[in-house]
Amino acid sequence: MTGLDIIEKARQEKRTILTEIEAKQILGEIGINCTDTRLATTKQEAVALSEEMGYPVVLKISSVDITHKSDAGGVKVNLKDRAEVEKAFDEIMTSCRAACPDADIEGVAVQGMAKTGTEIIMGMIKDPSFGPVVMFGLGGVLVEVLKDVSFRIVPIEKKDAIEMTGEIQGKKLLEGYRGQEPADIAYLQDMLLKLSDFVDNTPGIEEIDMNPVFTYKEGAAVVDARIILA
Ligand code: ADP
Ligand code: MG
């Protein structure tokens, strides 16, 4: 299924929220690097996929009704063997059913454990006056507490992407603060351009949220993604 098929299928099912698996597939198709993420509908499938992908893995609840997965106990990271995957599967199901009794659960998303890097967020929201805008900022606590984010109206050009990564207050963290590995800022600018192009050419998208994206000395990896259709 292509990205456009996924969007079409969701529309037919009268859904506006895409799952993490669907969102990553769409973003992957436009050249944005996402951790390989696949659906397991049973515990046995989760184990089989984990063995195929190689440990350590991450298991996450996959449900269109649960968008804040950690809050529902739906994320287990750094699972190192079969026993840990089986236990995580049971724990995720138990806590998500308790937290969201009416949720339609399709299974769990199995994905590789991404190497840690400085966390950023990237996405698109619709501004009531300006229409679609792309967003870039530091992830985790910094975005929640300081709202250290920059925005530009879609479509953006390279110079806008350069301004966006340069104008956040925490940009020093990306440049390699106190021995921390510097982020591949040119790569992040290129991701912003790809995101803007996609939004500009794909009608009917309400919101895109990549949170977090791990940045590295070379490249970056999207570990969580969400897309909402209009
Ligand atoms: P939520 O729906 O709660 O936002 P996330 O998918 O963002 O769930 O997962 C919560 C946290 O778990 C992330 O912020 C990240 O720190 C960690 N995480 C998620 N997926 C991975 C992964 N594939 N590799 C490494 N860490 C991950
Ligand atoms: Mg997240």
Residue 164 pLDDT = 98
Amino acid identity at 187: Y
- Domains of the chain, residue spans: 3-112, 118-229
Tell me which CATH code domain 118-229 carries. 3.30.470.20
Tens-of-pLDDT digits for all 230 residues of the chain? 899 999 999 999 999 999 999 999 999 999 999 999 999 999 999 999 999 999 999 999 999 999 999 999 999 999 999 999 999 999 999 999 999 999 999 999 999 999 999 999 999 999 999 999 999 999 877 667 778 899 999 999 999 999 999 999 989 989 988 888 899 999 999 999 999 999 999 999 999 999 999 999 999 999 999 999 99
Task: Answer yes or no: is the ipTM higher than 0.95.
Answer: yes
What is the structure's pLDDT at 178?
82
Using the atom order of ligand 1, give the atom closest to the CA of residue 20: 6
Which pTM was predicted?
0.96
Domain 3-112 sits in CATH 3.30.1490.20:
yes
**Ligand 1 neighbour 114 (Cβ under 6 A):** yes
Q: Which ligand is nearest to the CA of 223?
A: 1
Reduce the DSSP state of residue 103 to 3 states and report it: coil
69 within ligand 1 shell (Cβ under 6 A)? yes
Q: How far apart, in whole angstroms, are the C-alpha atoms of residue 199 and residue 92? A: 33
User: Measured in angstroms, how far is the CA atom of residue 93 from the centroid of ligand 2?
Assistant: 18
Q: Is the CB of 60 under 6 A from ligand 1?
A: yes
Q: How remote is the CA of residue 151 from the centroid of ligand 1, in Å?
A: 24
Crossing angle of helices 158-166 and 185-201, in 10° steps, is 130
Pocket test for ligand 1, best of 62, 77, 215 (most atoms within 8 A of CB): 77
Instruction: Estimate the crossing angle of helix 3-12 against helix 20-29, to 10 degrees.
Output: 150
Alpha carbon 188 to chain centroid, angstroms:
14
**Which residues, other chains included, contact 44 with Cβ-Cβ below 8 Å and sequence gap of 6+?**
none
Residue nearest to atom 19 of ligand 1 (CA): 223
CA–CA distances in Å: residue 15 to residues 11, 60, 84, 209: 6, 20, 33, 17
Q: State the distance from the centre of ligand 2 to the C-alpha of 211, rounded, in angstroms.
A: 5
Q: How far is the CA of 223 from the centre of ligand 2 (A)?
A: 8
Q: How far is the CA of 150 from the centre of ligand 1 (A)?
A: 23
pLDDT for res 21 = 97
Structure confidence at residue 84 (pLDDT):
98
Strands (E), the chain: 37-40, 57-62, 75-79, 107-112, 118-127, 131-138, 149-153, 205-215, 220-222, 225-229
Residue appearing with tokens 């998303």? 109
Whole-number pLDDT of residue 142: 67
Domains 3-112 and 118-229 share a fold: no
Ligand 1 within 6 A of 96 CB? no
Closest atom of ligand 1 to CA, residue 35 = 23
